[in-house]
Amino acid sequence: MTIQARFELHKKDFSLNVDLHIPARGVTALFGPSGCGKTTLLRAIAGLEHCPQGFLQIDGMCWQKETLFVPPHQRPLGYVFQETSLFPHLNVRQNLEYGLKRVPVAERRVPLDKAIELLGIAPLLARKPHKLSGGERQRVAIARALAVSPRLMLMDEPLAALDLARKQEIFPYLESLHRELDIPVIYVSHSPDEVARLADHLVLMEAGGVSASGPIADMLTRLDLPLAQGGDAETLIEATVSEHDEAYKLTYLDFPGGRFTVAYKDLPVRTKVRLRIIARDVSITLEHQSNTSILNIFPATVDKIAPAGSAQVTVRLLAGNVPILSRITRKSAALLDLTPGKAVYAQAKSVALLA
Amino acid sequence: MSLDEADIAALFVTLKLAGLTTLILLLLGTPLAWWLARSKWRYKFLLEALIALPLVLPPTVLGFYLLITLGPNGPLGNLSQALGGPSLAFTFTGLVIGSVFYSMPFVIQPLQNAFAAIGSRPLEVAATLRASPLDRFFTIAVPLARSGFLTATVLGFAHTIGEFGVVLMIGGNIPGKTQVLSIAIYDHVEALEYGQAHLLSGGLLLLSFLMLILVYAVNRRFSLVRQ
């Protein structure tokens, strides 16, 4: 169940050189600054960019090797482009059916109705693309890509052209895709927020190459990567809803390092959720504070410490083997005498529940 | 005052010539325009200049070379005779061949521009939706270039109707066979039959104007829809 991609491409002012192994399940985010080759890599996977010496194998299906180049229209993939890509001469329904009609009946696994329902576009079917808002167009484009029952979904910054409100409108649909359909997704993004909400696996790209790749929670807390060094360093934690407190309107979530308390969220017990903790919101104490308003306090050990700028450090803590990042001043680290292996308490001032 | 028999024959010859020429140009010109719009061949500009030549060349020059080529001693005339046909000069077939060259830029350029304006994105999208190259051409490129097709058709047709110099050089002026309206008008003026010249000229003026109104009105609507 893996995707193997090896591409080399040299253009006038850009070259791509990647050798990638990623899981063929869940959402893999290709993350990096503009111009680092994310889109080119995605296009090469789709066959829209021809890299002569490439190799590409998706879950056992070979799409490209020395003697083989499957043209894009014969690859069972779905592609969502960055900007509007609906055919202007067709209405929404005809756009949705364009790909579907070309897929043999035996290979159709995503019913059109399901795609329409998942993206909430039933009221738009008779409209022409120019009568839709940007967010609606992108939802139709996603449904259209789903309707071909892809074995692999490629999404090139599908939200980049939208304003914040439209992004918020589409996010729930993307998250439900993730939950309800078992289609691997490769998602290009340069937004840390999108990556934190959607990705299971993260591929960091830089100057046409892959600089690191791994499960999202590990990648975010690796002190040797730029993610943990930036001002918005954060930790993602998978937790399970354990119970609700009706009196205080709270929800309790368990993870291997303890129990989180967050504002009430209407989710069934045992639902798996993703929590995000900004490193700046995590402070460190040597003793368990009892006279504090902070509820989320966990015993932890210091794993590693790395400088973050001249005045601050990022501390990687392990709470029940789950890494949590804390951003504190270098002075605090010195006063607390933090060294790897030291037992401390991590206090999270705020915790965001992502899904 | 009404049209005489020769004028009516000239009208039919003209319409048949323009219709046939436009049809041939659309059939041959569409793939050529597509190739010109998509190809990255570095010497493409040579071909583009060649196609644009009839725009600037005096029709008599074009007509002269066509006469040489199509006549009994020219390569095409020879070929036609070898196949048991007549020499192509002074025949309707010769006229069609001449008109195809003469009106070529008026059909190819609008098509090429329309295809180029589509860009590669819609075709890539179609490719990711399982459409083969030919499928993409007919279901995406052609509908999106429809305003180009309309412009090409009307300009090709109208321009062929207005042809004079080339026809005179290679078609002669055989009533019912190669006499077209523009030449009939010239003959009427020569013979001081101003009434009939007026009738035919006014008719052509009106027809041409109506066709162009159609093109501009429909293209305006297309662009409003597209915006």
How many Cα atoms occupy the beta-carbon half-sphere of A219 within 13 Å? 21
Q: How far apart are CA A100 and CA B129, in angstroms?
A: 8
Q: Strand, coil or helix: what is B3?
A: coil
Q: Which residue has the higher pLDDT, A99 or A164?
A: A99
Work out the angle at residue B38's Cα, subtended by the Cα atoms of residues B33 and B42, and round it to the nearest 5 degrees: 100
Structure tokens at B109: 């350029």
A5, pLDDT greater than 50: yes
Whole-number pLDDT of residue B225: 58
pLDDT tens readout for residues A186-211? 999 888 888 888 888 999 998 888 88
Residues in a beta bridge with A260: A253
Q: How many angstroms away from the CA of A92 is the closest CA of chain B?
A: 15
CA B6 – CA A259 distance, rounded (Å) = 100
Mean pLDDT of A236-262: 91
Structure tokens at A226: 């730029």
Q: Are A73 and B128 inside 8 Å of each other by CB?
A: yes
Q: How do strand A152-156 and strand A185-189 relate by DSSP bridges?
A: parallel
pLDDT score of B117: 93
Q: List residues of A whose CB lies inside 8 A of any B CB.
A: 46-48, 71-74, 77-79, 81, 85, 87-89, 98-99, 102-103, 128, 130, 144-145, 148, 154
Domains and their CATH numbers in chain A: 2-220 (3.40.50.300), 234-353 (2.40.50.100)
φ and ψ of A252, to 5 deg:
-105, 135
pLDDT at B3 over 90: no
Q: A32-36, A201-205, A248-252: which range is least confident on average?
A: A32-36
Q: What are phi and psi of A309, to 5 degrees?
A: 80, -170
Distance CA B130, CA A101 (A): 9
Nearest residue in A to B222, CA atom: A89
Start-to-end C-alpha separation, chain A: 25
Q: Which of residues 121-160 of B touch A (CB under 8 A)?
A: 121-122, 124-133, 135-136, 139-140, 143-144, 146
Whether residue A72 and residue B127 make contact (CB cut-off 8 A), yes or no, is yes
Alpha helix ranges (H) inside chain A: 38-46, 92-100, 112-119, 134-146, 164-180, 192-198, 216-220, 226-229, 330-335
**Where does the pLDDT of residue B224 fall: very low under 50, low under 70, confident under 90, or very high at 90 and above?**
low
Which residues in chain A have their CB less than 8 angstroms from residue B227's CB? 130
Residues 6+ apart with CB under 8 A from A44: A5, A7, A9, A16, A50, A51, A54, A56
> Would you state the pLDDT for residue B167?
86
What is the side-by-side order of every strand in the sheet holding A185-189?
A77-80, A152-156, A185-189, A27-31, A201-206, A209-215
Closest CA–CA distance from residue A79 to any residue of chain B (Å) = 6
DSSP state of A193: H
* Residue A264, token pair as written in the block: 């009430």
Q: Give how far Cα A345 sits from Cα of A106, A237, A252, A326, A336, Å.
A: 57, 17, 19, 11, 12
Under the banding of pLDDT at 50, 70 and 90, the label for residue A355 is low
B113, with CB counted inside 10 A (0-12, 13-18, 19+), is middle
Contact status, residue A153 vs residue A186, Cβ threshold 8 Å? yes
Query: What tokens appear for A327 in the block?
Result: 């951003």
- Closest Cβ opposite residue A130 in set B140, B143, B227: B227
pLDDT at B33: 96
Interface test with A, best of B118, B123, B128 (most A CBs within 10 A): B128
Nearest to B132 among A73, A79, A98 (CB): A73
pTM of the model as a whole: 0.83
* B176-211 residue pLDDT tens: 788 888 888 988 998 888 998 999 999 889 988 998
Count CB atoms within 10 A of the CB of residue A15: 14
Tally of CB atoms within 10 A around A251: 22
Q: Which residues of A touch B132 (CB under 8 A)?
A: 73
Q: Which of B129, B134, B136 to mutate to test the interface with A (most CBs of A within 10 A)?
A: B129
Please list every residue in chain B whose beta carbon sits closer than 8 Å to the beta carbon of residue A71. 127
What's the pLDDT at B181?
A: 87
| pLDDT score at B1 | 56
**CA-only gyration radius of chain B, Å:** 20
Q: Which domains does chain B have, with CATH numbers?
A: 5-226 (1.10.3720.10)
Minimum Cα–Cα distance from A100: chain B residue: B129
**Residue range A72-102, pLDDT digits in tens:** 999 999 999 988 799 999 999 999 999 999 9
Inter-chain touch B226–A99, beta carbons under 8 Å:
no
Q: Which residue of B has its CA nearest to A46?
A: B128
pLDDT tier for residue B77 given thresholds of 50, 70 and 90 = confident
**Residue B2 has what pLDDT?**
67
Mean pLDDT of A2-26: 87
**CB within 8 Å: A72 and B128:** yes
- Which has the minimum average pLDDT: A95-104, A229-238, B72-81, B183-192? B72-81
B39 interfaces chain A, CB cutoff of 8 Å: no
- Distant-in-sequence, close-in-space partners of A11: CB < 8 Å, separation ≥ 6: none
User: Residue A268 burial (CB < 10 Å; 0-12/13-18/19+)?
Assistant: exposed
- Cα gap B105→B160, rounded to integer Å: 12
Chain A with chain B: Cβ pairs closer than 8 A: 63
The angle subtended at Cα B156 by Cα B155 and Cα B161, nearest 5°, is 95
Structure token pair of residue B55:
């725009």
User: Strand, coil or helix: what is B157?
Assistant: helix
Distance CA B61, CA A304 (A): 86
- Does pLDDT of B227 surpass 50? no
Residues of chain B neighbouring A145 (CB-CB closer than 8 A): 128-129
Q: How far is CA B163 from CA B6, B61, B179, B183, B216, in A?
A: 18, 13, 11, 9, 22
Q: How close is the nearest chain A Cα to the Cα of B143, in Å?
A: 7
Residues 6+ positions from B58 with CB-CB distance below 8 Å: B165
Could B128 and A89 be called an inter-chain contact, meaning their C-beta atoms sit closer than 8 Å?
no
Give the Cα separation of B92 and B180 in Å (integer).
10
Pairing relationship of beta strands A77-80 and A152-156 according to DSSP bridges? parallel
CB contact under 8 A, A85 and B135: no
Enumerate residues 6+ apart whose C-beta is below 8 A from B205: none
Mean per-residue pLDDT of chain A = 88
Out of B125, B136, B143, whose CB is closest to A81? B125
DSSP A134-164: HHHHHHHHHHHHHTT--SEEEEE-TTTTS-H
Taking CA–CA distances from B124, the nearest residue in chain A reads: A48
User: For residues B162 and B208, is the Cβ–Cβ distance under 8 A?
Assistant: yes
Q: What is the mean pLDDT of chain B?
A: 88
* CA distances in angstroms from A222 to A52, A218, A326, B208, listed in the order given: 35, 6, 12, 74
Written as one string, the DSSP assignment of B79-135 is HHHHTT---STTSHHHHHHHHHHHHHHHHHHHHHHHHHHH-SHHHHHHHHTT--HHH
* End-to-end Cα, chain B, rounded Å: 50
Residue A267 binned pLDDT confidence (cut-offs 50, 70, 90): confident
Residue of A nearest to B226 (CA): A88
Per-residue pLDDT of A279-321, as tens digits, reads 999 999 998 888 888 889 999 999 999 888 889 999 999 998 8
